[in-house]
């Protein structure tokens, strides 16, 4: 198979000027991009922060531009993010004195004297992606783009004109629910030879010292560090709870068979126009076991009451903690159905922080058969990135997550108040 990069990368690296110095060395992650593109038409490159993935992509883009008549495109979630590679490429062109036929800073297009064109595009502007042929497409910060329609509908046809074209996706992970995870998994499948993928943690960059990493650990949360430096697919920085299937899903048969050892509490969150969530939790005061759940959509008060009553009798529930905003429902349950509850403490972020500490210290578990919906909801529960103050996204994951928080946080706070006076 002929080489995709006609200009030898190592020779080009010896000419690149960075920080006043001539010549740079690629680290393992950066060479991983080169080898991946030589061997696969589509390469998904997952690498940690500060491993130089954008710089490497820019140098590879420039390498292709040196081939006459080559079309290279960089696509990113928006122009702000894509300008990183644009700045690298245009700086290299200027530093090496490459003659330019056209330089349009506003539209982000450069045409070299050899006819090659370098173009910057935003995934937010789908119309700009249509109808362009390309030899090499780089998708920067790919996991931040909400879905893959920009590629399947708009960019994939752009690669059909030239038989030896390539697409490179570079990013840190953003959770397994993201389309890029499925692309990464496709690249790991040996039967799909056109696709390949690689994952490189911070250790691939020898310039990062243990002191640098220790400082990063101190300055950001455990979840963000796992995502940005360890390339952990299981979490995103927007994820509220860092749950892990292998750790937090258990066979809780023994707990269910020895309920006399535990207090049984429950949380009820009422959705009215969407979901109602009722969760049952066994606790010894230190560990919390979610042993049952009832998730329902748009049911009447009497139907909800019948479900709660059945669960109350099945598990001999000691106390139900109910959304304090649902006072009419609380009264109806008590007077009409003989179901008594207490108002839950609705200090949202304090409650979330407490439940997060249980997750991080492996003190909360979910039954593998009867509490999977609650686990999946809490695993998918996310912060809203568009708000200045910490606020969660309201969706189908909210109600089971709230019900668990109501039960555990209120139980803990009230227990503390009893013993401390």
Q: Residues with catalytic annotation?
A: 141
Query: What b-and-e string marks burial along 264-283, b requiring 16 or more CB atoms within 10 Å of the CB?
Result: bbbbbbbbeeebbbbbbbbb
User: In this structure, are residues 249 and 375 in contact, taking their beta carbons and an 8 Å threshold?
Assistant: yes
Helices 53-65 and 28-39 pack at an angle, to 10 degrees, of: 40
User: What residues have CB less than 8 Å from 297, skipping those under 6 apart?
Assistant: 271, 274, 275, 276
- Beta strands 100-104 and 166-171 are unpaired
As given in the structure block, the two tokens for residue 144 are 């931040």
Give the burial class of 404: count Cβ atoms within 10 A of its Cβ; 0-12 exposed, 13-18 middle, 19 or more buried.
buried
User: What residues have CB less than 8 Å from 178, skipping those under 6 apart?
Assistant: 143, 236
Cβ atoms < 10 Å from Cβ of 156: 14
What's the start-to-end Cα distance of the chain, in Å?
77
Residue 295's closest CA among 264, 268, 320? 268
Residue 125: helix, strand or coil by DSSP? coil
User: In this structure, are residues 184 and 32 in contact, taking their beta carbons and an 8 Å threshold?
Assistant: no
């Amino acid at each position: 198979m002929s080489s995709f990069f006609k200009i030898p990368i190592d020779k080009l690296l010896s000419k690149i000027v960075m920080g006043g110095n001539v010549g740079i060395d690629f680290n393992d992650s950066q060479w991983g991009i080169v080898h991946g593109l030589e061997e696969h038409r589509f390469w998904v490159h997952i690498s940690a922060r500060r491993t130089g993935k954008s710089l490497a992509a820019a140098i590879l883009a420039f390498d292709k531009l040196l081939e006459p008549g080559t079309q290279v495109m960089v696509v990113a979630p928006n122009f702000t993010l894509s300008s990183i590679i644009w700045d690298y490429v245009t700086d290299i062109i200027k530093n090496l004195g490459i003659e330019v036929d056209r330089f349009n800073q506003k539209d982000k297009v450069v045409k070299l004297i050899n006819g090659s064109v370098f173009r910057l595009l935003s995934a937010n502007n789908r119309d700009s992606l249509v109808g362009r042929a390309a030899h090499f497409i780089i998708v920067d910060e790919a996991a931040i783009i909400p879905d893959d329609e920009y590629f399947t509908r708009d960019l994939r046809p752009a690669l059909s004109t030239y038989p030896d074209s390539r697409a490179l996706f570079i990013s840190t992970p953003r959770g397994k629910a993201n389309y890029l995870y499925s692309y990464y998994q496709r690249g790991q499948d040996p039967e799909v030879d056109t696709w390949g993928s690689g994952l490189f943690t911070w250790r691939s960059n020898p310039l990062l010292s243990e002191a640098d990493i220790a400082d990063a650990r101190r300055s950001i949360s455990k979840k963000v560090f796992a995502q940005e430096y360890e390339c952990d697919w299981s979490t995103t920085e927007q994820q509220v709870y860092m749950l892990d299937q292998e750790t937090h899903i258990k066979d809780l048969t023994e707990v269910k068979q020895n309920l006399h050892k535990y207090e049984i509490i429950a949380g009820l969150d009422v959705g009215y126009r969407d979901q109602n969530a009722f969760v049952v939790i066994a606790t010894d005061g230190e560990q919390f076991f979610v042993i049952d759940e009832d998730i329902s959509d748009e049911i009447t008060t009497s139907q909800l009451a019948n479900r709660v009553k059945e669960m109350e009798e099945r598990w001999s529930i000691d106390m139900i903690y109910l959304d304090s905003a649902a006072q009419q429902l609380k009264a109806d349950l008590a007077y009409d159905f003989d179901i008594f509850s207490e108002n839950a403490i609705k200090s949202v972020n304090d409650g979330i922080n407490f439940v997060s500490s249980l997750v991080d210290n492996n003190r909360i578990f979910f039954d593998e058969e009867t509490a999977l919906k609650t686990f999946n909801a809490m695993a998918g529960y996310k912060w809203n990135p568009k708000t200045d103050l910490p606020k969660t996204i309201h969706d189908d994951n909210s109600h089971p997550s709230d019900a668990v928080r109501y039960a555990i946080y209120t139980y803990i706070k009230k227990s503390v108040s009893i013993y401390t006076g």
